[in-house]
Amino acid sequence: KAGVTQTPRYLIKTRGQQVTLSCSPISGHRSVSWYQQTPGQGLQFLFEYFSETQRNKGNFPGRFSGRQFSNSRSEMNVSTLELGDSALYLCASSLGGEGQTHEQYFGPGTRLTVT
Amino acid sequence: GESVGLHLPTLSVQEGDNSIINCAYSNSASDYFIWYKQESGKGPQFIIDIRSNMDKRQGQRVTVLLNKTVKHLSLQIAATQPGDSAVYFCAERMKGTYKYIFGTGTRLKVLA
């Protein structure tokens, strides 16, 4: 079974631009979570989607948004990029349903550099 | 490329010895916990999990202990190997949510 995939793996953008990152979960997994990882702040939760609905959101500004499609693939968007948005963006998938196991598996991440 | 903190606490262990990595979690209402291993340039890798109604769970060479009284989680790795060198994170899930809070991480160095 293929793991979580994320595209692109590396991205360089300029301040003020916007970016869209993509995540394909493990087959059968319906929950997708997004995290930002930086050396200073560690791993921080952005949001979680299940069956195209956002169930939880972290403490990030509205410039960070996401969505999930009917095939469980997810995208996150960051608008008006700032230098501080440079980070590794990680996506994780799990079965996510009530009564199902909660094991969460991560993709390799997208390394975003904002210049 | 590196993707974890530059100033993480570091645990150095001799190859073959047992390792114990500790984590203090923040929310007494958290009901599920996971330990992850992250190697340089990779995403976190699931190691073992435990629910709040348990105090111990064993896997292959790993054991997780949960002490809810003091909000403490530990990961024990038996017969530590060079391939165990990585950064280890604990994560807690807040009860009633699908939101995980990660610890700051511990770097494990295995000495040959």
| Residue among A66, A53, A70, A72 at smallest CA distance from A19 | A66
> Which pLDDT value is given to residue A55?
93
Residue B108 confidence (pLDDT) above 90? yes
Residue contacts between A and B (CB atoms, under 8 Å): 68
Q: Dump pLDDT digits (tens) for A59-79.
A: 999 999 999 999 999 999 999
Find the helix or strand (DSSP H, E) in which B106 lies.
strand B106-111
| DSSP code string of chain A | ----EEE-SEEEE-TT--EEEEEEPPTT--EEEEEEEETTTEEEEEEEEETTEEEEE-S--TTEEEEE-TTS-EEEEE-S--GGG-EEEEEEEE--STTS----EE---EEEEE-
Higher-confidence residue of B97 and A100: namely: B97
A4 contacts chain B (CB < 8 A): yes
Which chain A positions have a beta carbon within 8 Å of B100's beta carbon?
Answer: 33, 45, 104
Q: Dump pLDDT digits (tens) for B35-73.
A: 999 999 899 999 999 999 999 999 999 999 999 999 999
Query: Model confidence at A99, in pLDDT bands (50, 70, 90)?
Result: low
What DSSP designation does B45 have?
E
How many angstroms separate the CA of residue A112 from the nearest CA in chain B? 11
At CA A105, angle to CA B11 and CA B43, rounded to 5? Answer: 50
Please judge whether B3 and A88 are an interchain contact, meaning their C-beta atoms are less than 8 angstroms apart: yes
Encoded tokens for B74: 């530990």
Q: CB burial class (10 A; 0-12, 13-18, 19+) of residue A7?
A: exposed
> Which pLDDT value is given to residue A18?
98
Q: A8 preceded by cis ω (within 30°)?
A: yes
> Which pLDDT value is given to residue B1?
35
Residue A56 confidence (pLDDT) above 80? yes
> Which pLDDT value is given to residue B79?
97
> Which pLDDT value is given to residue A5?
97
Residue A1 confidence (pLDDT) above 80? no
Interface of B with A in 22-61 (CB under 8 A): 32, 34, 36, 41-46, 49
Residue A26 confidence (pLDDT) above 80? yes
Residue A51 confidence (pLDDT) above 60? yes
Query: Model confidence at A30, in pLDDT bands (50, 70, 90)?
Result: very high
| Residue among B45, B44, B65 at smallest CA distance from B56 | B65
> Which pLDDT value is given to residue B6?
55
Mean pLDDT of A77-84: 97
Higher-confidence residue of A23 and B94: namely: A23
Do A13 and A19 meet the contact criterion of CB atoms below 8 Å apart? yes
Mean pLDDT of A1-15: 93
> Which pLDDT value is given to residue B2?
36
